[in-house]
Structure 1
């Protein structure tokens, strides 16, 4: 009797022990991921100014280091103070984002992104170069029934992107509208994936909406739309892969079959991603991370991983069979791994691309080049651990220090512009957005760290882990800003979560201030005025660009026409949304028109001054003009055109 009674106790003890072990593993992994992500955020803030200054002045090492340190301090202060200084503004923005019906919002983001990309492609037409040109040539060979071969290699280049391009090239040839059209389709999948992943992973529709907005307007992604880029394929695939991996959490125990179907989808998408970028062959490590964080049992994790790997193999095996027929040896996807590893780890390595290492393995036969490259790379790493670690840190700087690959590929390498100022402005805009994303991610970390591990759900940590996977990988292999692009959407979702956290903090502060004076309405009104102005400004830029580049209209006149058209839209948005004016339209419109006429004069005067006398390019000149006229408009409209009220309505909106 006593023995029988002891059996359940022993079983319960084993179960409790397994649960305790799973909890310990989960907690340790969570701490590791959080610590690494905090390190990466600080690295990114340091790397951007460091790399920017060294690119312009290679000998300015000390100044670049100081600039990086200053940026780290500024980023930390911004992350800490942002909820108090701009929290009400962010609260108003999030309220605006939540207001439209979901379908209308997603359609709007799709249209916004398409317009931005079409304008970019129209103004800065580019020609394929380097990798993009090679992939197009391989796709053309496949479309023509010729062997998959270039420069004497038959499997050096991974086949995923050329296979996707093949039907496009069969229809459009190498004309730019073919691959640009494909880029726009990939963008649509990216926007949808960003919303679904953000809403599901973090349980917040607002985060999903913000993620869709960020993907639509993200400078680097917009700039990449004019060139053939395999990174855009991965950008579209990764969020859907993560949705499939995490789908099990959104179904009850009786719906386990849906989880397995999700694994089938994850395996298929993972195999496709690996064919495009073989470095993603190890992406299932992210699934292992997720299941361990979620404290899944060993057998559940093993079964899910097994299904995923099997489906990946089924996608990849046909190409592996083709390689076996060509080489008589097993080559899973491509033959470039060994040579790439060696070029990134040898006495001549710089962290980025180099044509060859100390030993020219590139001149060897294809398979021998790969195997010899692996041998030499491993030998150098083992015998030079200090140099390897120093190089790994510099690779991290290259990985995190620039998010303007689209500007480089489309404007400089692709010949989109001859203007150094335009290229510099494009890079600055892209990297400013990149820095802002890391400040918001720091805010997210700082806001949730006091909650300990309760503030970091397994899905959120898995989003971190996806970015960390590429960061770690390219600490060993060749590095550069373009290598983080595939994980942009997980990072942007975390950025959106930072915005929502700051907004919720601001609302809490307002809710706790019942016995204190209400904050002035200026921040809330400025937030709404900024949104209305951004929409109108987008219209102005579209008109300016199309009239000046396609219609032959002089720049000053085109800018003036765009400003006038945008003013009408701006009036309606500000009357009904920003200031909620009670004054009759006749009076408000008259005053608004007087302010606008003054603004038109300022706009024309400043554009004439900057483009005619200073000699600045018209787009940077327009950007400076927009900022100055914006300040005038807000002050005049708030004080006179609409006469802002007591602020009660704004306080209600913030709450």
Structure 2
């Protein structure tokens, strides 16, 4: 007997997301063929660490000194592929093509879980044409693997095909993996189960929060112990919170990224260094509360008024005259989709104010809060983009429905 459910699922996949996946892959492949991989800034560090990991020397600087400053996840990911395929630019492109395709499939699935097929397709299409994500094809980065793992954590949490406890375990494991790309997702380990029926089933909610914490502790402890052995403190993911806090909060700060002056602490211990800068930043905030609030407002602008990081991190591979044009196009696309998403969120909440506690609303608010309180940069809004795409698609679908309803003739007249 033919399994009709399977046939319907295959038909839905082929007519729904498969063409968008092919489009996503093709656009990024063209970019990858035209733009050489030449990492700069953090991307260059991920690349360097990945080479050390691929060579079997562990998570160390090229000179052999151990580190915990950057999260290990991106370097471990690219390092694994370097070990298998060699250290080549096309390996970076291959990894990012795979991640982009998985992300599109996840955004589509998330749209189906929370909305409907039309919104899912629109959101996936918005991501397919997103200039910054296209540019990231040729960049070793933390943003794309973080986003991919986080999206599928949401999908795992929302699927009805697994028992509730299994969804908690799987989504938590994916979030921990995402945290190794960037630790700002760590609060979601508690928030996702906490926001899942907290009022209707409080006892069950508590049990799943505890389960999530246990799973996270099991997965995080080995890395924390590695850092304790090397640096004297059990750093969960990375030792850069204090420095990032200082960047956004010091006498010379404007709320955005800035270079960190080297201070002679008579030690090479990265954790000691990070704690020192954290202390300086906290002292500054306590002594200048009014200025801190003004810097918070500056950080909003620095985080959301543009989206040029994808072009900036490809600066060695793009003609100087072309870069301002590409940055302007990337920023215009971002501002358009972001504006549509804000209207979409407004409609979403107006329909039901309790949706303020929906994970789709809480999660981007979490990332915005991190940028608001610590330091602003356009790359810090990148993890929000799947949710921004969904709410922009929600609004676009709302407009399409209104127009179609107006075009239908009134047969009752």
Flag whether TM exceeds 0.5 (same fold).
Answer: yes
The residue that corresponds to 1:472 in the other structure is 369
The correspondence for 2:123, drawn from 201, 208, 211, is: 211
CA distance in 2, matches of 1:301, 1:438: 33
Give the Cα separation in 1 of the matches to 2:214 and 2:326.
43
Distance 1:325 1:129, change over 3 A: same
- The answer to whether the 8 Å contact 2:194/2:205 transfers is no
Task: Report the Cα distance in structure 1 between the residues aligned to 2:92 and 2:196, rounded to whole angstroms.
Answer: 37
Find out whether 1:161 has 2:74 as its counterpart: yes
Inter-CA distance 375–447: structure 2 relative to 1 (3 Å threshold): closer
* Runs of 4+ residues deviating >3 angstroms: 357-365, 445-452, 511-516
The CA distance in 1 between the partners of 2:148 and 2:384, in whole Å, is 10
Q: Could you say what secondary structure the match of 1:260 adopts?
A: helix
Q: 1:362 to 1:477 in 2, by over 3 A?
A: farther
Distance (whole Å) between structure 2 residues aligned to residue 295 and residue 382 of structure 1: 37
Counterpart mapping for 1:33-432 below 5 A: 101-150=12-61, 152=65, 154-202=67-115, 204-247=116-159, 250=160, 258-287=163-192, 290-291=195-196, 295-356=199-260, 365-410=269-314, 412=315, 415-420=316-321, 422-432=322-332
Partner of 2:393: 496
Of stretches 280-289 and 226-235 in structure 1, the one that deviates more from structure 2 is: 280-289
| Aligned 8 A contact 2:78 2:140 in 1 | no
Q: Match of 2:8?
A: none
Please name the residue that 1:73 is paired with: none
Return the offset for 1:506: 1.4
1:224-244 per-residue CA deviation (whole Å, 9 max, x = no partner) reads: 111111111012111111223
- Higher Rg: 1
Whole-Å separation in 2 of the counterparts to 1:471 and 1:428? 23
Q: Which consecutive residues of structure 1, in runs of 5 or more, have no partner in the other structure? A: 1-99, 252-256, 517-655
Separation (CA, whole Å) in 2 of partners of 1:312 and 1:323: 17
Give the distance between the partners of 2:149 and 2:351, measured in 1 at CA. 32
Q: Secondary structure at the residue paired with 1:178? A: helix
SS in 2 for 1:318: helix
User: Helix, strand or coil: the match of 2:186?
Assistant: helix
Q: Is residue 226–residue 234 contact of structure 2 (8 Å, CA) maintained in 1?
A: no
Deviation at 1:374, TM superposition (A): 2.1
Offset, 1:176: 0.4
Q: Give the Cα–Cα distance (whole angstroms) in 2 for the partners of residues 260 and 363 of structure 1.
A: 46
Does the C-alpha gap of structure 1 residues 392 and 193 become closer, same or farther in structure 2, counting only changes over 3 Å? same
Shift of 1:400: 0.7
Q: C-alpha distance in 2, partners of 1:442/1:157?
A: 32
Shift, 1:360, TM fit: 7.1
- Number of equivalent positions: 401
The alpha carbon displacement at 1:104 in A equals: 3.5
Cα RMSD, aligned residues only:
2.5
In structure 2, the CA distance between the partners of 1:261 and 1:359, relative to structure 1 (3 Å rule), is same
User: For 1:333, what is the secondary structure of its paired residue?
Assistant: coil
Distance 1:450 1:180, change over 3 A: closer
Residues of 2 paired with 1:391 and 1:462: CA distance?
28
Q: Does the 8 A contact of 1:403 with 1:481 survive in 2? A: yes
Q: 1:447 to 1:509 in 2, by over 3 A?
A: farther
Give the CA deviation at 1:457.
8.1
1:256-313 CA-to-partner distances (Å, cap 9, x unmatched) read: x711100001110111111111222222353266236x63433222111111122222
How many angstroms apart in 1 are the aligned matches of 2:253 and 2:304? 18
SS in 2 for 1:291: coil
Query: Cα offset for 1:103?
Result: 1.7
- Provide TM-score, normalisation by structure 1: 0.58
Of 323, 338, 341 in structure 2, the residue corresponding to residue 441 of structure 1 is 341
Aligned partners of 1:361 and 1:480: how far apart in 2?
A: 28
State the distance in 2 between where 1:171 and 1:405 align. 29
TM-score by length of 2: 0.89
Cα deviation, 1:127-160, whole Å, max 9, x if unaligned, reads 0111111111111112212142227552112111
Q: Is the 8 A contact 1:267 1:307 kept in 2?
A: no
CA distance, structure 2, for counterparts of residue 320 and residue 449 of structure 1: 40
- The Cα offsets for residues 513-535 of structure 1, whole Å up to 9 and x where unpaired, read as 5599xxxxxxxxxxxxxxxxxxx
